[in-house]
Amino acid sequence: MIKNDLYLKALRGETVERPPVWMMRQAGRYLPEFIALRDKYDFFTRCQTPELASEITVQPIRRFPLDAAILFSDILVVPQAMGIDFKMKESVGPWLDEPIRTAQQVDDVIVPDVNETLGYVFDAIEMTLEKLDNEIPLIGFAGSPWTIFCYCIEGRGSKDFNIAKSFCFLQTEAAHKLLQKITDTTIAYLKRKVEKGVSAVQVFDSWGGMLSPADYQEFSWQYINQIVEALAPLTHVVVFGKGCWFALEDMTKSKASALGVDWTITPELARQFTNNSVTLQGNFDPSRLHSTPATIRKMVHEMIDRFGKDKYIVNLGHGILPNIPVENAEAFIKAVVDWKA
């Protein structure tokens, strides 16, 4: 039995004393102890070594009174498992020597046995759960099929993912085939995470906001919804679509336990679009963590008051930035812990 189940209560829509808090990318690059490991091991070594991944996962838990841990990993371990050889290039980010640009390349992509290709992630879950010792829940995650697709076609990060979008519009059949392969792999991957003991899963649609509402339905949401449908009977599913406020109404009709929102929508509109029927997560602007601790505290309290304490998980509107002072991250978390109605 998990001792602090505030996060799970919020996902179930139960009444709580205060909302739970965690931060996207909380196990990461703003912490000096993370930087020490980063300087010693390259990125995918850290992801693929269970001892390192579990250690990085619990680093912020040792520092802060967080209500959930999220497993340290990366969304690109899924395409790697599918035979798409992503690297992490210095000063560039995700990099693919041979981006997918043809129908034949799509045909060559495999749907793997996740136990064989992603066993290191499942081992990291076991090690992390041992370290957490039932204190707080552990969240597993994956990228949305569209977001992973973007990297596979583009071959790297992009401001607009125009090559990926063009592939969808010019080679639509091949695009849907690749999206389905990513979806099938992701479902198997997340199911195994649940079997290994995570308490919830989150799907990150980082680039969904690049699409028009109609194209979002065709190339992103229908695949995310397949994941939600497959996982909802087994665990809580949280969907976070950056820049996807226009899809909140449709997302609300799904079996997702919670919807993440970024800072480009007000709490009032987010509640209106979801008819106050689903738990919301978010939506503090990560850049606002550059404010003074006193300002952060005031803004967090205002944010909670506007969302309301129930059916709400306090989080950032995207991942924490690498140059945020540790004391500011702490101010954000403690503001939630100290909040009173």
Predicted pLDDT of residue 338 = 98
| Domain residue ranges in the chain | 6-284+311-317
Chosen CATH of 6-284+311-317 out of 3.90.1170.40, 1.10.10.10, 3.20.20.210, 3.40.50.1820: 3.20.20.210
Residues 71 and 47: their CA atoms lie apart, in Å, by 10
Question: What pTM does this model have?
Answer: 0.97
The token pair that represents 154 in the structure block: 């583009």
User: Is 151 annotated as ligand-binding?
Assistant: yes
CA angle 295, 299, 300 (to 5 degrees): 115
Biggest alpha carbon–alpha carbon distance for the chain = 58
User: Is 42 annotated as ligand-binding?
Assistant: no
The token pair that represents 217 in the structure block: 């339905």
Residues 185 and 194: their CA atoms lie apart, in Å, by 14
Sheet of 200-205: strands edge to edge? 69-70, 138-143, 200-205, 236-241, 258-260, 279-284, 312-316
Which residue(s) pair with 93 in the sheet? 89
Predicted pLDDT of residue 341 = 85
Dihedral (CA of 37, 39, 41, 47) sign: positive
User: Is 26 annotated as ligand-binding?
Assistant: yes
Q: Spell out the per-residue pLDDT of the chain, length 341, in tens.
A: 999 999 999 999 999 999 999 999 999 999 999 999 999 999 999 999 999 999 999 999 999 999 999 999 999 999 999 999 999 998 889 999 999 999 999 999 999 999 999 999 999 999 999 999 999 999 999 999 999 999 999 999 999 999 999 999 999 999 999 999 999 999 999 999 999 999 999 999 999 999 999 999 999 999 999 999 999 999 999 999 999 999 999 999 999 999 999 999 999 999 999 999 999 999 999 999 999 999 999 999 999 999 999 999 999 999 999 999 999 999 999 999 999 98
Instruction: State the catalytic residues.
Output: 25, 29, 38, 74, 151
Q: Are strands 87-89 and 93-95 parallel, antiparallel or unpaired?
A: antiparallel
